[in-house]
A and B are shown apart, each in its own frame.
Chain A
């Protein structure tokens, strides 16, 4: 960036320093640290990674690895089902938290906790809660029915569902908070007028809330999908990718290859995720530049 910038400036006329005001010189100096960080830790790694993933043999190896196909499917389930459920709940709860009650205000303060505390201790806490022998859930099931509870994390479908649950638990407060901000920005007069006209709860939502929030809602959904592609913790800390590597998502799979010292495979698996990422990024860019 800096190169093209100074290049454009240097071409016509006198040398750079004499054409810039002192303020602009300071501007470049103050911007330089970030540019250096960006070049060294974003541009270089990304280019280097793409270069490592260039050999077609990597993709053949991935294609032959059954874990990869499974991880790709899991990732799709995580994004398409998990995120949409999360955002719908967030939209619903943003309406709930917008209600003016003292106890709801207190609840909203507590509600933010999962987002404020680090994920590792809480995810491990959930993991133990569902431990088949010692966990609280199966103790509870036993005392209720006298039967042993299921071996939760040993069934890939249940384990993946729970990983999605953990992800929702962790990030729901953040998205709810954003949607509450959006909801509070809607003019109150509209709702009062609708009240006078005798609009139902659904009509108010359909004709006032949704039209003013749909842009924000869709932007949030897309962003959340992009970020969730990189969600390593929910799966890794809860299931470790198991049982039998059946609950990996692309994020944990890439790290798994990395730990096995197969860096080019790790990068190739990420390149394979580009068909997911690029459309999302494209829509995001279009939305943001409008």
Chain B
């Protein structure tokens, strides 16, 4: 134990610190190298990027200019694809929140008969590995006539985000005291008023976490987007990035620049809501 303000030098502490650094430095490098490599390509002219330098001789924002002005064959629909990604992510966030909040309220507060069974069945969705559900889902969307329609991707992502959302929201709402509902009923509140005026405001932190989770899930999704959408003006950004690979002479520096722009919003959103996310999403993990 050290007293505050008194610094005791001891070899033991130095050894401990050195050992921690011996773990910390590789962890840092392992985490950052692929991300740094992407960033490096984004700010390098083509010659520098392909010559394996750790820092370009002439760092430039020219690649960003090309992307933002859509001056390359692969980038001709950049803005519309960015917009598609945004619309789909936001719709998934909103729809998941609406569906999951209703379900969690119904299961946890109204104790609807069979509610728990529904939740367990919902969680069963996660026992079907993602790529395995994707194959029949593709065919199903075809049967529903939704292929190449944004709704197919939105509904697929809502299906995947909802069970976890319901589970987390149910855990959170189980912690709200029953007396709240009873008091509201005494005051003559209807079920809908309790939902709107008591439940939703109290659940706000969890709702923010779940909304963010669903938005990020949809924004980052590649497999379903790649299967369900194919028209150049309907696809989302990740699918467009994947299509770069089809060409032999892919402009890698532009691919990395676009990828960097695409990766920025989720990283920013994650860090902005980190406080909610970590607490809200891992709360159930150590229940047992």
Chain A residues with CB under 8 Å of chain B are 1, 5, 9, 22-24, 26-28, 30-31, 33-35, 37-38, 40-42, 44-46, 48-49, 52, 93, 96, 99, 101, 103-104, 107, 109-114, 116-122, 124-126, 128-129, 134-136, 138-140, 143, 169, 173, 177-178, 181-182, 185, 215-216, 223, 226-233, 237, 240, 250-252, 254-255, 258, 263, 266-267, 270, 273, 277, 280-281, 284, 290
* Contact, CB under 8 Å: A227 / B241: no
Given A96-B23, A277-B129, A281-B127, A182 contacting B103 (CB threshold 8 A):
no
* Contact, CB under 8 Å: B106 / A31: yes
- Least distance between B248 CB and chain A CB atoms (Å): 13
Residues of B228-242 whose CB lies within 8 A of A: 238, 241-242
Q: Can you add 8 more A-B contacts, CB < 8 Å, to A41-B156, A42-B128, A118-B263?
A: A31-B106, A109-B271, A125-B41, A126-B37, A129-B34, A177-B282, A230-B129, A254-B134
Closest to A118 in B: B220
From A37, A134, A178, A277, give the contact of B127 (CB < 8 A): A277
Asked if B82 is at the interface of the complex by the 8 Å CB criterion, the answer is no
Of the listed stretches B56-64, B73-81, B137-145, name the one at the interface; the rest are far from the partner chain: B137-145
From B30, B107, B267, give the contact of A116 (CB < 8 A): B267
Nearest first, the 8 closest Cβ-Cβ pairs linking A and B are: A139-B52, A121-B259, A230-B129, A27-B112, A49-B136, A230-B130, A251-B131, A27-B110
Residues of B104-143 whose CB lies within 8 A of A: 105-107, 110-115, 117-118, 121-122, 125-140, 143
From A41, A45, A120, give the contact of B238 (CB < 8 A): A120
Task: Report chain B residues within 8 Å CB of A252.
Answer: 131
* Contact, CB under 8 Å: B131 / A104: no
A–B complex contacts, Cβ < 8 Å, 9 sampled: A37-B155, A40-B144, A42-B125, A96-B24, A114-B31, A128-B41, A230-B134, A232-B134, A270-B135
Given A1-B117, A122-B35, A181-B282, A99 contacting B105 (CB threshold 8 A):
no
Q: How many Å lie between the Cα of A18 and that of B20 in the bound state?
A: 67
Asked if B38 is at the interface of the complex by the 8 Å CB criterion, the answer is yes
* Contact, CB under 8 Å: B242 / A237: yes
Of the listed stretches B4-12, B158-166, B171-179, B200-208, name the one at the interface; the rest are far from the partner chain: B158-166
From A5, A52, A121, A251, give the contact of B263 (CB < 8 A): A121
Given A5-B114, A28-B112, A31-B118, A96 contacting B20 (CB threshold 8 A):
yes
Task: Report chain B residues within 8 Å CB of A173.
Answer: 31
Task: Report chain B residues within 8 Å CB of A227.
Answer: 126, 129-130
Closest to A219 in B: B288
Task: Report chain B residues within 8 Å CB of A266.
Answer: 135
* Contact, CB under 8 Å: B35 / A125: yes
B contact patch SS: helix
Q: How many Å lie between the Cα of A215 and that of B287 in the bound state?
A: 11
Closest to A180 in B: B282
* Contact, CB under 8 Å: A23 / B191: yes
* Contact, CB under 8 Å: A267 / B135: yes
Closest to A138 in B: B52
Chain B residues with CB under 8 Å of chain A are 20, 23-24, 27-28, 30-35, 37-38, 41, 50-52, 98-100, 102-103, 105-107, 110-115, 117-118, 121-122, 125-140, 143-144, 155-156, 158-159, 162, 166, 190-192, 195, 216, 219-220, 222-223, 227, 238, 241-242, 245, 252, 255-256, 258-260, 262-263, 266-267, 270-271, 274, 278, 282, 285-286, 288
- Least distance between A286 CB and chain B CB atoms (Å): 13
* Contact, CB under 8 Å: A118 / B105: no
Most buried by A among B38, B105, B121, B143: B38
Task: Report chain A residues within 8 Å CB of B242.
Answer: 120, 237
Most buried by B among A120, A226, A250, A252: A120
Task: Report chain A residues within 8 Å CB of B190.
Answer: 22
From A5, A139, A254, A290, give the contact of B135 (CB < 8 A): A254
- Least distance between B22 CB and chain A CB atoms (Å): 10
Closest to A287 in B: B288
Task: Report chain A residues within 8 Å CB of B41.
Answer: 125, 128
- Least distance between B21 CB and chain A CB atoms (Å): 9
Task: Report chain A residues within 8 Å CB of B118.
Answer: 1, 31, 34-35, 38
Closest to B281 in A: A177
* Contact, CB under 8 Å: B112 / A34: no
Q: How many Å lie between the Cα of A28 and that of B241 in the bound state?
A: 43
From A110, A140, A254, give the contact of B31 (CB < 8 A): A110
Given A1-B118, A255-B223, A255-B227, A122 contacting B34 (CB threshold 8 A):
yes
Task: Report chain B residues within 8 Å CB of A23.
Answer: 110, 191
* Contact, CB under 8 Å: A41 / B52: no
* Contact, CB under 8 Å: B37 / A129: yes
Task: Report chain B residues within 8 Å CB of A27.
Answer: 106-107, 110-112, 115
Closest to A137 in B: B52
